[in-house]
Amino acid sequence: MTHTCMFSTSHGRRVALRTPVSHRVIASAAASLAAALTLSACGGSSNSEAATISLENCGRTVTLSGPAERGVTLNQGATETALSIGAKGQMAGTAYLDDTIAPQWQAAYAEVPALDEKDFPSREALLETKPDLVTASYSSAFDDKAVGSHESFDDLGIATYVSPFGCKDKSKRPAVAWDSIATEITDYGIMFGREDEADAVVAQMRETLTGIEAAAPAKGKSIFWYDSNTTTPYVGANAGGPQLIIDAVGGTNVFAGTDGSWADGSWETVLAANPDVIVLADASWDTAEEKKNYLRGDPALKDLKAVREDAFVVLPFSTTTPGPRTIEGASLVAGQLGGDGA
């Protein structure tokens, strides 16, 4: 028979576990009740069959026969989320770096095969790893021009997951909140069977956030979050990692009226706002130094208050992708503004 039950995670999410139960398992459980009492109501002893994991993601259901054993992560944010909960031994491959893996995870990262550090791997290379789970930070990973659709992996019995912030259907994206990041980290803990580790990551994030918000080093300051491009600036808008960080340090986003995580802005808006601070995302495809040089060389932009006063804040692009490193981004911004970024 199959025992099915629902449990709530520490963030109130409902997750289904379906555990095949035989008479032998029942007898074994009765003989070792003391050990079983240390597990949740939906758990099982170490010699029982693995529980099926099922959770909702961007309007789809992600189902695994048990904790992932051969996960592949297709973006740096997804990779670092998996590494943050200690899942390196359950990873069969990684891909697509934005910049450098955080120092605290570099040793673990080096132990996992990198399929392609500059782009998504080919579908063939991905499937050669025999993954049971493929995760990404952005829905663009699951496109026919990348590794293929979610449905194409469903047909192969391979689970797929995308960051809630990257849902293709924008109506499925969660509200911009640190709780949403906590939910994603918790999802990884569930998928890899590392919920305690995920809870620890979330607890540390919340503790650090409390200190940054109390210091509010950007209180009363307007901030222009400059991601990339020159003709039309690509900017941090009101629904993603940049806005979370700006809110944490107490600043005001000059593009708070623009919807999205990132969006096309306009230099006219920047000139009218004349921001106090400019945050520069440092990425391999568009470095912070290149953006500084452009701002200092443009006849109009060079007279912005932040440019004249060299009020630049630089942080790796990877810290702006919602995940365990977003709090690092907030710490870096706070520290460069004179606040307590620890």
| pLDDT interval class at 279 (50, 70, 90) | very high
Between 209 and 320, whose confidence is greater?
209
Q: 217-242 pLDDT, tens per residue?
A: 999 999 999 999 999 999 999 988 99
- The SS3 of residue 53 is strand
| pLDDT interval class at 176 (50, 70, 90) | confident
Residue 30 located in a structural domain: yes
Q: What is the rounded average pLDDT for all residues in the chain? A: 87
pLDDT value at position 28? 33
CATH code of residue 173: 3.40.50.1980
237 and 177 within one domain: no
* pTM exceeds 0.75 for this model: yes
pLDDT value at position 322? 85
173 and 146 within one domain: yes
Give the count of beta carbons closer than 10 Å to the beta carbon of residue 274.
14
Residue 342 located in a structural domain: no
74 and 20 within one domain: no
222 and 201 within one domain: no
122 and 33 within one domain: no
Residue 124 located in a structural domain: yes
Residue 98 located in a structural domain: yes
End-of-domain residue from the set 153, 185, 205: 205
Q: Is the pLDDT of residue 23 over 50?
A: no
| pLDDT interval class at 19 (50, 70, 90) | very low
Domain assignment of residue 305, given as a range: 216-336
**Distances from the Cα of 335 to the Cα of 208, 311, 322, 329, 340, angstroms:** 12, 13, 19, 10, 6
* b/e sequence 44-80, b meaning 16+ C-beta within 10 Å: beeebeebbbbbebbebebebbebbbebbbbbbbbbb
The number of domains in the chain is 3
pLDDT value at position 51? 86
- The SS3 of residue 308 is helix
201 and 68 within one domain: yes
76 and 38 within one domain: no
Q: 205-217 pLDDT, tens per residue?
A: 999 999 999 999 9
pLDDT value at position 236? 96
68 and 33 within one domain: no
Mean pLDDT (whole number) for 33-38:
28
pLDDT value at position 239? 84
Which DSSP helix (H) or strand (E) runs through 202?
helix 195-215
Question: ∠ CA(188), CA(193), CA(194), 5° rounding?
Answer: 70
What span, in angstroms and rounded, lies between the C-alpha atoms of 106 and 308?
A: 37
- Give which of 229, 251, 221, 219 is closest to 238, Cα–Cα: 251
Q: Is the pLDDT of residue 46 over 60?
A: no
Q: Phi and psi (nearest 5°) for 64?
A: -130, 145
pLDDT value at position 50? 64
164 and 70 within one domain: yes
**Distances from the Cα of 315 to the Cα of 138, 158, 216, 335, angstroms:** 20, 35, 18, 11
Residue 147 located in a structural domain: yes
170 and 281 within one domain: no
